[in-house]
Structure formats: structure tokens, C-alpha cells
A and B are shown apart, each in its own frame.
Chain A
Amino acid sequence: MRKKIDDLIEEIDRRTGLHTGLRKFLYEEIPASSGWHQVFGSVALFMIMIQFFTGILLAFNYAPTPGDAYSSVRYIVTEVTAGRLMRGLHHWGASMIIVIVVLHMVQVFLWGAYKKPRESTWIVGVILLLLTLAYGLTGYLLPWDNRAYWGTVVTTQIGATVPVMGPYVSRLLASTGDIGVVTFARFYGLHVLLLPPLTMLLIGFHVFLVRRHGVAPVPGDEAKAKKSFFPEQVFKDTVAVFIAFIILFVMAVAVRVPLERMADPTDTSYIPRPEWYFLFLFQTLKVFEGPLEVVGTVVLPTLAILALILTPFIDHSRIVRLRQRTLAFGIVVLAALGWGGLTLAAVKSTPPQTAASQIDFSGPTQWMQLSPAEMAGVAYYRQENCATCHNVVGDTPKTGPNLVNTARRHDADWMMTHFKAPGTVTPGSAMTPVNLTDAQLKDLLALMVKLTPDNAEVVDSAPAFATAGALIFQKNNCGTCHSVNGVGGKIGPVLNGLDNRRSEAWVIEHFQNPQKMSPKTPMPPYKFPDPDMQNEVSYLMTLPDKAPSQ
């Protein structure tokens, strides 16, 4: 049997050379000094394969046109089984590639492995680093949520400031006017059609060059016997790949990749932020203002890339021991400090995101459909700790019955009496009376009636600013004049879609001084103290654009 398999392999090898080729690849001789510090190249290669793999899987459920793109990403993370994991792997994989590629470069830099005759290997590596960043930039737009849209607005505007080339860059990315369907198509095309084959070609060339010149030795290696790449170095590479994969997998499972609301080109209050690895550039831009802006957007990045490409020609001395490369260490430490400082400054100067932009649309959003009374009911449900004794979702054993069904079996009067004096309608009930006013109990009742097995999770998922906002809304009887989600008076304007019409600052001003903002309005002023004002405005600004159809 074994002989037969050997013969078969032999026969196939004679015709294809596969076996000989693999053997030649694996038994490549490497210097005696090779070891753990050289694993990063393999890890980077592995990570890019993960990106190709998860990218293809995402494409199986993704519609590359604005609007549908957003819905399909939402479909992937909320409805497709393991879809959230796949998006997590792709998203965090992108961040990890940056980290690993940089570590790979730092290692090569410190060891001086870019020196003659390996200059071309280094330059191809620098191009691969730029391609990695291009992936990040183009992939950022593809979920088509607010974050993607506004982030891309900033990026393309920076591209437009490049002297001479700027207008052509804009035209190439179809971003001259607004970011739109054509921009999207260009970014998608770059991300999935142009960049991957280009990356594969360059990685192939990169690896070919590594093989052609051999792994860079250190002084002293020439006196020692060479080692074989397989299995010892392959073992080290595999361990490193495994560790990287575990980190990635844990991140993909544990850290949610948020999906904000669908891209809204009219949302001028949105504060765009680039991905963390671009923050240092973003911070650099702030230093240069007016006519100097071009220094931050073009001159410095170009100089940095040139410096990287020219590194092997600037430092063309012989390869020396790691310990003697103090200048190289100094440069790496300085670069790390500079990068870290700029990133930290950018993070620190980030204004807090508005409540609206923090809503995760990849999670449940049914709470957005609640009326103010029902939403206030959620606040009372939490305030009175109803969940200690009752379930609405799940089936943990608890003292009281599941409320979703209970409220449907009884009428409003029964429920009100039960809230106030449980014993009178349910003899022997262990429930303590709910200590709320009649008006407040009505809100709680509204919620109880609204709950179904499908929407009961709202008691957990409604954000605190929304329940707080609804409490204020109810307390001040805003519903007498205004309608929210189809409930309320018709004297004042419908509040759904307020965020499309007004800015947050305008709404706050309007609360404090209605006549100043809209003369002739009968609305009295409301001078809510903070944080009430902020909660109220956040609540109103995150209402759905249209009242849900009943």
C-alpha cells in the first residue's frame, strides 16, 4: 500500500514537479541565526489569506451598491448564522495586518536585512505596506453607514488637496462632488478587483526575492552550518501564526464591530473619525493650517514614504550585529513615540460621539418603534426592578410569571389594580405594590400591553438616554402637542425625522427660547438642566425618520 502511494507520488511528481518543488521550498537552507524574530513575514502572509477568505465569504452575502450594501451588511450580522463572526474576522483582521506588517518591517529594519543585495525585497515590502493601507481606506466605505460615509468624505477631500494631481485624484475616485454611487463603485472595484491580484503578484515577487537572496545572515553565520527551513523554522512560524489566529478569533467573537445608521449625507452633525491606524495622520493635519495644509496632507506623507523606500540606499554599510545598530533602534523608538503620541493626542481630542451615532444597528433596534409612553414604561420597568421577579425574555426560573403573556390575559383595570394592590386581584400574590403615580402606572401599563414575544427584548436593549428622554417627554406632556411614532397631538410638528430637519444645537436653543428660533410658536420654553436636556435631545434626534406603520 505504502509502496503504491510512493509510486503514485513519484509518477505525479515526474509529470508536475509538485513534490520536488514543495521539497525544494521546504528544505531551503537558512542561516544558523534564524529563529523566532523572523516569523512575522509568515504571519502577515497568513493574515492576508484570512482576509481573502473572509472577504470572499462576505461577498457571498453582500450587495455592492449603496443602500443595499448597508442592508446586506446588516443582514449578514443579524440574520446570517456566523455572519457576525465572519465580519468580525475581516474587520479585526484588517487591523491586525497593519500591526503585523509594521512588526515585520521593524524586525527587518533593526536587523538591517534590507541591505545589499536585498534592496528590492525591501522596496516591494514598502509597496505592500501601502497596498495594505489602501485596502483599509477603500474597505472603510463598503458598509455604507454614517461612519463609512463621513470617513470617506474626509479622505477624499484630503486627496483633492494634492497640488496639481488633486482634481485628477478626485475624478479617479469619482468624489468631485458628493460621495455617491460612482464613488462607491470605484472603492468597491479597487477593494475587491484591483488590490487583491496586485497584492498576490507582489507577495509572490517578495517571496521570490527572499528565496533568491536567501534569508539575511548576521555576522558570524558564515562560520556555522546552515539550517533547514523545515521543520524547525516552519514550526516557529506555525506557532506564531497560531497565536495571531487565536487573538484574531477572540477579537472577532468578543468585540462587536458596530454598524451605525445608514449613511446620511444630510447629517451635518456627524463627527467623522478615521480608523485607528490613520489617526496619527489625522492629528498631523491639525498642525498645518491654511496654505500650510499641503505640508500635512502631501509633503510629509510623501517624504515618509520616500524615506522608507530609500532606507537601503541611505544606510548602505555592511550588515552588522544587532547590538551595534543603536541608530536604527533610536529611529524605531522615536518613530514609535511619535506615532503613539500623535495617536494619543488624536484620541484625547476626539469629542464624544453623539448618542445617535453610538446606536449599534447590528443589534436589536425594536426599541426605536416604542411610543414615548411605552418607552417611559421601560424606564419604570427598570426603576422598579420588575426583572428581579419577572421574565419577559428567556426562561430563568423566577418568582413571578412571565409578563408577556400575563398582560395579554387581563384588561387595563385589572392590571392597574394589580400594580397598586396585587393581593386584591391575585390572592396570595407575593408581589409588593408598585410605588408609582397613576400617570406613571399608565406608562408601565402601555409597555405591558405592547410587549410580545418578538419585541420583549426592548426592556433590555433600549438605551438609557432614550428611556430618560421619554420620562421627560411624558412628565412635561410633550405628547399633547407633538406626535412621536404615530402617537400624540397634532398641534405641533411631528417629531419623527427631527434629525433630518434640525441640528442638536438648534433643538436645545429651541427648548430654551422657542420664540427666538421659530417666531409665533405657542410652545413654552423648557429650561431642562443637563443631563436632562442632553438625554431629551438625544432621544428626539434618534427617533426613526418615519413613524412605524401599524
Chain B
Amino acid sequence: MRFCIRRRVLYYDVLPLEKNHHPMTNPTTTDSNSGEFLVTTRRTFHLAAIYVLGALISLALAIPTVIYLLVPPKGRKQSAFIDAGDISQLTPGQPVELSFQQERLDGWRLETEKKTAWVVKGADNKVVAFGPQCTHLGCAYHWEAGMNLFVCPCHGSDFALDGKVLAGPAPRPLDRYATKIENNRLQIGELKQSAPQA
């Protein structure tokens, strides 16, 4: 019973009563035989119920809201690799710009985007697919057959056939796509950022 009285005082501090209702000005409220006491326990019960029910409703709304806003949507499954075409005709050491259609999920929309890759067949017949943007500031570079270099027109970065930076401000070699080959067809996956060049 003491506990109840203490609780009442606590709530009282949050929402003070009118002066003439002030329980502390009436010491008989602590007398458990008086009618005043019943009034204060009723009041305590009412206050407790208001706060508890209010808190329950708030929680039942707040938790789903946080989940709704912060948990990423499930999304539809997308295939990891996209067919970029036949590579049996590629000449080793001769980069070719291949384009492919990539589906990208944008919220409720499934967008089809045209993407490109610079594809090089090495001497060992291994195929590498470079991302089409210069690693400096994202300009589109191209292959200069005469110079045997990838040249970026923006700030003069040059890249070798294996993607290494030969000149200019580019901080790291060309980025590479994950690739695999099925029945002589190149499958292009995720674009991975290359490590900075030492």
C-alpha cells in the first residue's frame, strides 16, 4: 500500500493537480481507513491504466513503423549473370566494347538498362571484362588501337591491356566485372572495384 502512495506522488509530479486537490496538503490521504485513500488508489489505477494502455498502443504502432521504414524490401530475385554475347570470334589482345541489357529493380519498377563492357581476350584465352568508366572521375574511355592503350579523353589517363594505369591521374586499375563463360558465351556479373595501384 505504501508503494501505491509513492506511485501517486510520482505521477503527481508529472501532472500536478489543482492546488486545492493537492494530496500533499491533506496528510490524511496516507490513512488507509479514510475515504480519501480510496480516491487516491482509484486515481492511481486510472493513471497507471492510461499510461500502460497508451504505451501499448504506441509500441504496437512504433515497432511496425520502424520495420516498415528501415527494413529493406524483399525484392524480386534477379539472375546474377547476364548474357553479353558470343566471344568465340574475339581476337586475343583486341578489346571490343560489348553492350548488354541489364534489368534493374527500382522499387516497384523493373527497368531495363543498356550497359557496356570492354572485353579483352588474353593470350591464354582468358577473358576479362572491364567496366566502361575511367577510375579517375568516371569518364568513358576508349581503346586506341594505334597506341595499344585505353585512353581517357578527360584528364589523359592511360590504361594497359590488363587495366593497369600507365599515365594520368587515375588512382587504380580499370574495374572488372565478374565473368563466366558458358558455351562460348560471355556471362557478365557484378562490377567489382579494383584495388588502388601501388
Are the CB atoms of A23 and B16 closer together than 8 Å? yes
A437 at the interface (CB under 8 A from B): no
Partner of A235, one of B50, B71, B107, B109: B50
8 Å CB interface, A46-85 against B: 50, 53, 57, 60-61, 63, 68, 71-72, 74-75, 78-83, 85
* Residues on A with beta carbons closer than 8 Å to the beta carbon of B99: none
CB distance from B25 to the nearest CB of A (A): 16
A251 at the interface (CB under 8 A from B): no
> A72-B107, A238-B54 given as contacts; is B68 within 8 A of A57 (CB)?
yes
Are the CB atoms of B53 and A242 closer together than 8 Å? yes
Q: How many A residues touch the partner, as a band?
A: 35 or more
Chain A, Cβ-Cβ closest to B44? A231
B46 at the interface (CB under 8 A from A): yes
Partner of B57, one of A23, A26, A71, A242: A242
> A63-B108, A239-B53 given as contacts; is B73 within 8 A of A23 (CB)?
no
A114 to B145, CA, bound (A): 90
A72 to B107, CA, bound (A): 8
A222 at the interface (CB under 8 A from B): no
A545 at the interface (CB under 8 A from B): no
Name, among A68, A239, A242, the residue most crowded by chain B CB atoms within 10 Å (CB to CB): A242
8 Å CB interface, A393-418 against B: none
* Residues on B with beta carbons closer than 8 Å to the beta carbon of A68: 108-109
A540 at the interface (CB under 8 A from B): no
A245 at the interface (CB under 8 A from B): yes
* Residues on B with beta carbons closer than 8 Å to the beta carbon of A234: 46, 50
Are the CB atoms of A81 and B47 closer together than 8 Å? no
A241 to B74, CA, bound (A): 33
How many A-B Cβ pairs are below 8 Å? 83
A276 to B60, CA, bound (A): 28
A74 to B68, CA, bound (A): 15
* Residues on B with beta carbons closer than 8 Å to the beta carbon of A6: 13
Are the CB atoms of A231 and B43 closer together than 8 Å? yes
Are the CB atoms of B73 and A231 closer together than 8 Å? no
* Residues on B with beta carbons closer than 8 Å to the beta carbon of A235: 46-47, 49-50
A119 to B76, CA, bound (A): 57
A235 to B53, CA, bound (A): 9
Which residues of B are at the interface with A, using a C-beta cutoff of 8 A?
13, 15-18, 21, 42-43, 46-47, 49-50, 53-54, 56-57, 60-61, 64-65, 67-69, 71, 73-77, 107-109
Extra contacts, 7 of them, besides A61-B107, A75-B107 (Cβ < 8 A), are A63-B108, A71-B108, A72-B107, A82-B71, A228-B21, A231-B43, A454-B77
